[in-house]
Amino acid sequence: MGFFDNIMLGLDEAITGLFGQWNLYTSAIFTIFAGFLAYQIAARQDPDTHPLLLARQAQASPVRHEGESPVYRSQAAPHGMPLNTGLSVKDPGASKWARGRDGDLRDVWRQAVAGVQEDGPSKGATGRILTVLGTENVTEYPLDDITRQINLIGQHILDQGGNRVAIYLPNSVELIVTLFACAFYNMTAVILPFDQPDDAVISMLRRSAADTVVTAPGSFPFDIVVKNYPSLRQLIWVVDEGSKHMDWNEVPQGTGGSVNVSTWQDIVNDSPVDAGKDLPPIEGQKEPRDVTIFWQSKPGTAEEMVRFTSANIMSAIAALLFSVPTSQRMGPSDLFLPADSLANTHTLVLTLGALYSNASVAFNSVAVQANDLAIATRGIAPTIIVATPAALLKTHQESGGSLTSLVARNLHWLQTRSLTQNGVMPVAGLLSSYYDRFRPALGSKPGKLRLIFTAERIGAETPRLSSTVLSDLRALAGARIMYALTAPKVAGAVTQTNFYDYRAFDDECSHFGPPLTSTEIMLKDTDEHKNTDALSKGEIFVRGPCVAGSEAALNVAGVIRDDNTLAYV
C-alpha cells in the first residue's frame, strides 16, 4: 500500500469515527458554533471611517521655534494652503468654475430665501422658520414675511438715526431678523446675553456705545437704563400676543422725550402691505459692519466685549459646515434647534450655517434657561441640535439612571461597544428596538435626532464632558456628537472632534479634536509646561481668519495627544 493510500485510509477512519460518536450534544455544539460564525459574517460592518484617519487627525508643521510647539492644522487645510476664509458665494450669472466671494451675513439670508442651487432632487428647496411655544403651539414664519420684517425694521432704525443696535432678546425670530436688518442697512449689531442683572446690562450698553435697543417688556429695565445711560436714543419693544393691547409707546417721566419708543408689531403692521418685500440689491452695497459679542465667563466677572468682523463670522460658518462629511451635512430635510444661547458665537454661527444650508430652524426661548433638552425639544422633532454641556450631563444622568436591569445594562454595553470597539454607529434592529425604551425623550418623533453640537467655553466653568459620557450619550440619543473648544476671540470654534470619532478613554474631560479649517494652533512654554520635540504642551494660541485680530492667546494650558488632537493638561 502506497503512502497516499495510507493517508486516505487514515482520513476515512477519522471521519467514520467522528460521525460514529455523533450525538445530541455534538449537534447542539455544532449548531451554536455555526450560528455564531454565520452571525459574525452577516452582522459584520466596516467602521464608519478608516481607523488611520483617527490616528493622526491634525498636521504638524515640519519645524518649530524654541519655546513653542509646531503649528497644528486640520488635515483638510494642510500647511502651504490657505485657511478657509468664507463660503465661496457665487453671484447670479457667474461662471460655474469661477471662485466665489467669501460672502457676508447678507449672503446667508439671500441663500436661505433662494433655496438649494445645486442640481438634484432638492433643487430650489428652502427651509422653514419656526417658533416653539409650549408643547403644541408651533408657529411657522414664511420666508417672505421675514424678509419684509428685515427691511421694515432696518429702515425704521436707520430713519431714526440708529447706528449701533443692541439686541437683548432670548432665542427668537426677532433676534435673527434684527441681526440681518443691521447687515442689510449698514448698522453695527450688538448681541447682549439675555437675562442679566441691571448693572450688567447698563455696563454692556456703555461699553458698546449702543444708541438703539431691541428688547422684550419685562426683561429690560427701561427706567433704570434711561436714568443711567443717557446715550440711548431709540427703543423697540418686541411685544407678545397677550400684551399687544397695552400702550408700549409711553416714555417715563423725566426723560424729556429723548428716547423714541415703538413696538415691533406697530412698525411691521402700520407699513403698507407691499413695503419691504424685496431685499436691497447686491450692486452698490457697502462693506458689512462688525458684530459685537459679549463673552460671559465666571459669575461675578465682567463680560468680555469682542468685535467680530463679517469676515471672521463667514470664515467660522464655512469651517463648521465643512467639518461635517459631505453626505451628512445640513440640508432641507433637517430641522435645526439651537438649544443654547444665540449670544454664544458657537451657537450663532451654527444657526447661520443652518440657514445658509436651507435647513429648517426652530427657535425656543425657554431652551437656554431650562438646561433641559426634553423641554427644549418638546413639540418638534429636530434632527440637529446645539446643546450646552450642562443639558447633556443632565440627560446622561436621567437616562443612565434608568438602566437598572441586567438586560438594560447589557444592551447598553452592546451599543457602546459597537461605537468604541467597532467604530460603527448602532443601527435599528431587534435589540435596539427594545433599547429604545431607555432613550431620552428628545423630540416628538424618537429616532429623528442624528447630530448634537456642544462646546466647552474657556473660562466659563462649563461642566466638562468625558469621552465615556459622550459615548454613553451617543448610544442613548442615537445621534453623533461633536464636542468643540470655544474661546472669546474666536468666532465658531477653535477645535472640534471628528464626526466619526466614537472612541472612549479613561479621562475626566474628552479631547477637543483637531483644529477646524479656519484655525491653526500652537502651544507656547509656560513656567509649568515646556515644549519638546517629543511632547507639545503649554498655553494655547490660535490664529486664523475667524479670530478677532487674527491671533489670540486662550489663557489655558493644553496638550497635543498622540493622535494630534487637543486636550486640556
Question: Using the 8-state DSSP alphabet, how is residue 515 labeled?
Answer: B
Rounded to whole angstroms, how far apart are CA atoms 257 and 261? 9
Three-state SS letters, 301-314: CCCEEEEECHHHHH
Q: Does the pLDDT at position 369 exceed 70? A: no
Task: Judge whether 279 lies within some domain.
Answer: yes
- pLDDT band per the 50, 70, 90 thresholds, residue 282: confident
Residue 215 burial by Cβ neighbours in a 10 Å radius (0-12, 13-18, 19+): buried
Q: ∠ CA 163-165-166 to the nearest 5 degrees?
A: 150
- pLDDT band per the 50, 70, 90 thresholds, residue 429: low
* Mean pLDDT score across all residues of the chain: 89
Identify the pLDDT of residue 244.
55
The alpha carbon dihedral of 565, 485, 111, 331 has a sign of positive
Q: Does the pLDDT at position 247 exceed 90? A: no
Burial 318-330 (b: 16+ CB within 10 A, else e): bbbbbbbeeeebb
Task: Judge whether 125 lies within some domain.
Answer: no
Length of the chain: 569
Express each pLDDT in 141-192 by its tens digit: 999 999 999 999 999 999 999 999 999 999 999 999 999 999 999 999 999 9
Same domain, 236 and 382: no
Instruction: Residue 221: name the closest of 240, 207, 235, 242 by CA.
Output: 235
CATH of the domain at 259: 3.40.50.980
Express each pLDDT in 31-58 by its tens digit: 888 887 776 666 667 888 999 999 999 9
Same domain, 345 and 461: yes
The position carrying cell 459574517 is 41
Q: What is the residue-wise DSSP string for 388-454?
A: -HHHHHHHHHHHHTT--SHHHHHHHHHHHHHHHTT-------HHHHHHGGGS---SSSTT---EEEE
| Contact between residue 470 and residue 404 where contact means Cβ atoms under 8 Å apart | no
- pLDDT band per the 50, 70, 90 thresholds, residue 388: very high
Residue 561 burial by Cβ neighbours in a 10 Å radius (0-12, 13-18, 19+): middle
Same domain, 470 and 327: yes
Rounded to whole angstroms, how far apart are CA atoms 112 and 336? 14
Pairing outcome for strands 212-215 and 164-168 = parallel
Same domain, 151 and 212: yes
pTM confidence score: 0.91
Residues ≥6 apart with Cβ < 8 Å to 404: none
Q: How far is CA 156 from CA 149, 265, 267, 272, 295, in A?
A: 10, 12, 7, 13, 29
Return the minimum-mean-pLDDT range out of 291-295, 325-329, 445-449. 445-449
Task: Judge whether 495 lies within some domain.
Answer: yes
Retrieve residue 65's grid coordinates: 521655534
Q: Sheet harboring 451-457: ordered strands across? A: 137-141, 129-133, 360-363, 335-338, 384-386, 451-457, 480-486, 495-496
**Number of structural domains found in the chain:** 3
Task: Judge whether 88 lies within some domain.
Answer: no
Q: How far is CA 330 from CA 48, 108, 358, 385, 471, in A?
A: 19, 14, 8, 11, 23
By residue range, what is the domain housing residue 17?
3-42
Same domain, 390 and 527: yes
User: Which percentage of the chain shows pLDDT scores above 90?
Assistant: 67
Task: Judge whether 118 lies within some domain.
Answer: no
Task: Judge whether 415 lies within some domain.
Answer: yes
Q: Does the pLDDT at position 428 exceed 90? A: no
Question: Using the 8-state DSSP alphabet, how is residue 219 labeled?
Answer: T
Write phi, then psi, for 384 (nearest 5 degrees): -135, 135
| Contact between residue 129 and residue 358 where contact means Cβ atoms under 8 Å apart | no
**Kind plus residue range of the DSSP H or E element containing 476:** helix 467-477
Rounded to whole angstroms, how far apart are CA atoms 114 and 107? 10
| Contact between residue 469 and residue 396 where contact means Cβ atoms under 8 Å apart | yes
- Compute the average pLDDT of residues 539-565: 97
Express each pLDDT in 430-476 by its tens digit: 666 667 777 888 888 888 999 999 999 999 989 999 999 999 999 99
The alpha carbon dihedral of 210, 216, 220, 223 has a sign of positive
Residue 475 burial by Cβ neighbours in a 10 Å radius (0-12, 13-18, 19+): buried
SS3 for 555?
strand
Task: Judge whether 250 lies within some domain.
Answer: yes
Same domain, 473 and 356: yes
Q: How many helices (H) and strands (E) does the chain have?
A: 17, 21
Task: Judge whether 16 lies within some domain.
Answer: yes
If you average pLDDT over each of 95-99, 136-140, 222-226, 241-245, which comes out highest?
222-226
E runs forming strands in 34-170: 58-60, 72-74, 129-133, 137-141, 164-168
Same domain, 283 and 353: no
Q: Does the pLDDT at position 525 exceed 70? A: yes
If you average pLDDT over each of 376-385, 395-404, 406-415, which comes out highest?
376-385
Instruction: Residue 169: name the closest of 177, 181, 158 by CA.
Output: 177
Rounded to whole angstroms, how far apart are CA atoms 237 and 367? 21
Rounded to whole angstroms, how far apart are CA atoms 555 and 550? 16
Q: Looking at per-residue confidence, does 372 or 363 come out higher?
A: 363
Same domain, 325 and 354: yes
Same domain, 282 and 356: no
- Compute the average pLDDT of residues 283-296: 93
Same domain, 30 and 62: no
Same domain, 426 and 557: yes
Same domain, 510 and 549: yes
Pairing outcome for strands 451-457 and 495-496 = unpaired
Instruction: Residue 442: name the closest of 358, 528, 353, 382 by CA.
Output: 382
